[in-house]
């Protein structure tokens, strides 16, 4: 479609109106007027220059304690797509995609829970493709075009991304969680490197990212060599 408020919001409306919607349904818009990122941050992009989409999923008996694997397969799909186009990307926990120190894509996942399982999930993906100038509020952006020095057809990238996503989603539904997590950790930004982080109380510390547990908590080795776990709201990269 040409323009929409948010592909995630549209996907949510579709699910509310028809709970028989097919697993893997894709919502794609050339422009979002109210695109969103983590913590209700705005996702600002130029019209028809980037890939803004949502995928409606109905995972097979995915326990809520394993919901982070949806972030894993989404992140890996983007990394694989970028590699196909000669761009080496990393995953900044939990699911921002970086090239060097610049952000090229973001993911917003919204889950509907039934009992202990995820009934449905909306995976929103924003990938910077052909845009070169960004809103001043976007601190460190880059795009596929900026990295490859050529423009790309959005429809082709959409198809490539979905096929890659489908492959990882199949692994998830088959329960191949160890392979997915191992691959995710292999692309984790700043893993095993000393870096500075900030806690919610404003204090900073140096540490090395070691892993991410199955629930999605970031595990960092701090200065006394102990391992501490953090949720997304408890820590900030500096």
What is the predicted pLDDT for the residue at 30?
Answer: 83
**Pair 53, 170 in one domain:** yes
d(CA 55, CA 234): 28
Count of domains in the chain?
Answer: 2
Q: Are residues 122 and 45 in the same domain?
A: yes
- Whether residue 144 sits in one domain with residue 78: yes
Specify the pTM.
Answer: 0.93
Report pLDDT for 32: 74
Residues 7 and 95 in one domain: yes
> What's the domain range around 210?
194-237
pLDDT in tens, the chain (238 residues): 667 878 899 999 999 998 889 999 999 988 777 655 554 555 567 888 999 999 999 998 899 999 999 999 999 999 999 999 999 999 999 999 999 999 999 999 999 998 899 999 999 999 999 999 888 878 899 999 999 999 999 999 999 999 999 999 999 999 999 999 999 999 999 999 999 999 999 999 999 999 999 999 999 999 888 999 999 999 999 9
Give pLDDT, residue 238. Answer: 92
Cα–Cα nearest to 60, from 213, 157, 142, 169: 169
Same domain, 179 and 125: yes
- pLDDT attached to residue 39: 45
Residues 103 and 221 occupy one common structural domain: no
Same domain membership, residue 223 and residue 160: no
């Amino acid at each position: 479609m040409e323009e929409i408020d948010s592909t995630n919001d549209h996907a949510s409306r579709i699910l509310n109106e028809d709970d028989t919607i097919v697993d893997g349904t894709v919502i794609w818009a050339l422009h979002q007027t109210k695109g969103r990122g983590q913590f209700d941050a705005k996702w600002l992009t130029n019209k028809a220059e980037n890939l803004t989409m949502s995928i409606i999923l109905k995972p097979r008996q995915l326990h809520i304690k394993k919901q982070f694997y949806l972030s894993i397969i989404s992140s890996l799909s983007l990394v694989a797509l970028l590699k196909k186009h000669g761009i080496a990307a990393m995953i900044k926990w939990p699911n921002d995609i970086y090239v060097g120190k610049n952000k090229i894509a973001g993911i917003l996942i919204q889950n509907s829970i039934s009992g202990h399982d995820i009934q449905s999930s909306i995976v929103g993906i924003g990938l910077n493709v052909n845009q070169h100038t960004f809103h001043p509020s976007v601190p460190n952006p880059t795009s596929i075009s900026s990295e490859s020095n050529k423009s790309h057809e959005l429809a082709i990238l959409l198809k490539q991304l979905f096929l890659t996503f489908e492959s990882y989603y199949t692994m998830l539904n088959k329960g191949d969680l160890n392979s997915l997590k191992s691959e995710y950790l292999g692309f984790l930004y700043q893993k095993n490197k000393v870096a500075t982080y900030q806690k919610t109380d404003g204090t900073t510390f140096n540490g090395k990212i070691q892993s991410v547990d199955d629930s999605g908590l970031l595990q960092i080795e701090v200065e006394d060599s102990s391992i501490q776990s953090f949720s997304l709201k408890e820590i900030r990269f500096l």
